[in-house]
Copies of this chain bind each other. A is one copy, B any other.
Amino acid sequence: MKRYKPKPRLYRGFRDIFASDLLMRQQMLDSIREVYELYGFAPLETPAVEFVETLGKFLPESQTPDGGIFSFQNEDDEWIALRYDLTASLSRVCAQYKDIQRPFRRCQVGPVYRLEKPGPDHFREFYQFDFDTVGTKSMMADAEGCCVLCDALEKIGIERGNYLIKVNNRKILNGVLETSGVGLIDTSTDDSRAMNVLRSIDKYDRIGLKGVKELLTTGREDASGDVMKGLGLSENEISPILEYLQVGTGDRVEVCDQLESIVGNSEIGMKGIEELREIDKNLRCLGYEEGQIVFDPTVVRGLGYYTGPVFEAVLTFEVKDEKGRVKSFGSIGGGGRYDDLVKRFTGQEVPATGASIGVDRLLEALKLVGKLEERSTSTSVLVAAMDKNHLFDYQLIAKELRSAGINTELYLGNKGIGGQFKYADKCKIPLVVVAGEDEFSAGELQIKDLEAGRELAKEVLDRETWRKDRPAQFAVKREDLVAKIKETLNL
């Protein structure tokens, strides 16, 4: 009987991650966790599955099918979804447990899911690493959030000058919208006229002032010929918005002064500027200068739930990808204040602020700049299984190395010794321990150093010479094995 064979494939937008990337990511996550915990954020974990109504509708992509989330009905016909961020779940937790102490400072890392159009660097499952303080109105918390981002990025090896935290305030954006006559943002939905204006402003980075103006008025046709409908704002309405977008990002105090001249008549706008001034003072006290944290009026942040300061972490350097194309990474994280998110459940305002690092995107960037120690595997030694009569010996050698803390694989496949070397080479295992009848009789073992071999091979033009000389292979006495392996591996 011929059975149906399913095709081994991934649902698009999802991916497998192999050892080399995972080892780097682990290194990165450990550094980020260290910084978050240094600031007193303790870990929390929530399920990947939540009720749809817990998540709310805050995704900028909620125009896409199913509102950008993976949802399904459960056994009781309730709507369930995979979380699209960690913040909605945090709000649920804060509303659900009466005995949670506030301020509640937690950090959380885990995958989130978005039903978006996938692309080469754009996945539907990706990691976020968040920290938040729930239950604080203090601008010290928002300032601290910016500092945490700086410290975390520096901890994983991004030097000062190669990143920037850009800060803005939704209240100031509200002030501009009020001044322009568009009206205020409704944080309980992201489907308002004000949110659409914000989305146009959010594109400033890519499409410039002219592009934003088109989006706000009559519409815009992009390079590919796609037409975006305009929002139909009048000249009077767009004038303060365009002026606002040209403020730039100089000295933090000067930016506040300029913003005041634009939104000075809006109470909420002035409140936002006051908050930024307070953030600036705290940052100054702690020694975080404009080289690390700037005020940038063009920053919006996509999610609809922000109510105060918002911040975005960007990498400022350019790198070339494998094909030599210049790549600019842009935003690798961000966050802000969301005073109404717990209120959705309880009716009571619970001020909160926090941020998130987009772990996978950051990893891509760090790989390209070589900022992480690259290890293709966590395994250091392969014990070759050459002679069937010595299988117990090979197992004991492996056991001895493991007891000494050396990550060791015993070859369990069915290839000959040549195939085993090739295997170690392909798996990037640096050392192979080899022994046959001769070696065991002599009380010796051979160590083949594949990494040294690769280095040498680069220098040797003639493949035959390389083979004949067998560089990077040497004998050790059985009893010196562990010491010699440790020496070779620099352990």
What is A's interface to B at a CB cutoff of 8 Å? 3, 5-11, 14-19, 22-23, 26, 37-40, 42-51, 53-54, 65-66, 70-72, 74-75, 78, 80, 82, 91-93, 95-97, 101-103, 105-106, 111, 113, 115, 125, 133, 135-138, 140-141, 144, 188, 282, 285-286, 344-347, 377-379, 382, 391-392, 395-396, 399, 402, 405-414, 423, 426-427, 429
12 of the cross-chain contacts (CB-CB < 8 Å) are: A5-B347, A8-B95, A10-B96, A11-B47, A16-B45, A22-B43, A42-B378, A48-B125, A71-B72, A282-B395, A285-B396, A286-B399
Q: Are A51 and B11 in contact (CB under 8 A)?
A: yes
Other 20 A-B pairs with CB < 8 A, given A23-B42, A39-B402, A42-B379:
A6-B345, A8-B91, A8-B92, A8-B95, A8-B346, A11-B47, A14-B47, A14-B49, A16-B93, A19-B43, A38-B402, A65-B75, A72-B72, A105-B379, A136-B413, A140-B410, A141-B412, A282-B392, A282-B395, A286-B396
Q: Are B42 and A103 in contact (CB under 8 A)?
A: no
Q: Are B8 and A345 in contact (CB under 8 A)?
A: yes
Q: How far is the CA of A106 from the CA of B23 in the complex (A)?
A: 13
Q: Are B115 and A47 in contact (CB under 8 A)?
A: no
Please give me the 5 A-B residue pairs with the lowest Cβ-Cβ distance, nearest first.
A40-B409, A72-B72, A8-B95, A19-B42, A14-B47
Q: Are A48 and B47 in contact (CB under 8 A)?
A: no
Inter-chain contacts of A111 with B (CB < 8 A): 48
Q: How far is the CA of A40 from the CA of B401 in the complex (A)?
A: 11
Residue from B43, B140, B392, B429 within 8 A of A378 (CB atoms)? B43
| Nearest residue, chain B, Cβ from A408 | B40
Q: A70-B49, A115-B75 are in contact. Are A40 and B8 (CB under 8 A)?
A: no
Q: How far is the CA of A71 from the CA of B421 in the complex (A)?
A: 44
Q: Are B346 and A395 in contact (CB under 8 A)?
A: no
**Distance (Å) between the CB of A404 and the closest chain B CB?**
10
**Distance (Å) between the CB of A54 and the closest chain B CB?**
6
Q: Are A11 and B50 in contact (CB under 8 A)?
A: yes
Inter-chain contacts of A75 with B (CB < 8 A): 65-66, 115
**Distance (Å) between the CB of A429 and the closest chain B CB?**
8
Q: A8-B54, A45-B16 are in contact. Are A38 and B101 (CB under 8 A)?
A: no
Inter-chain contacts of A3 with B (CB < 8 A): 188
**Distance (Å) between the CB of A125 and the closest chain B CB?**
5
Q: Are A70 and B70 in contact (CB under 8 A)?
A: no
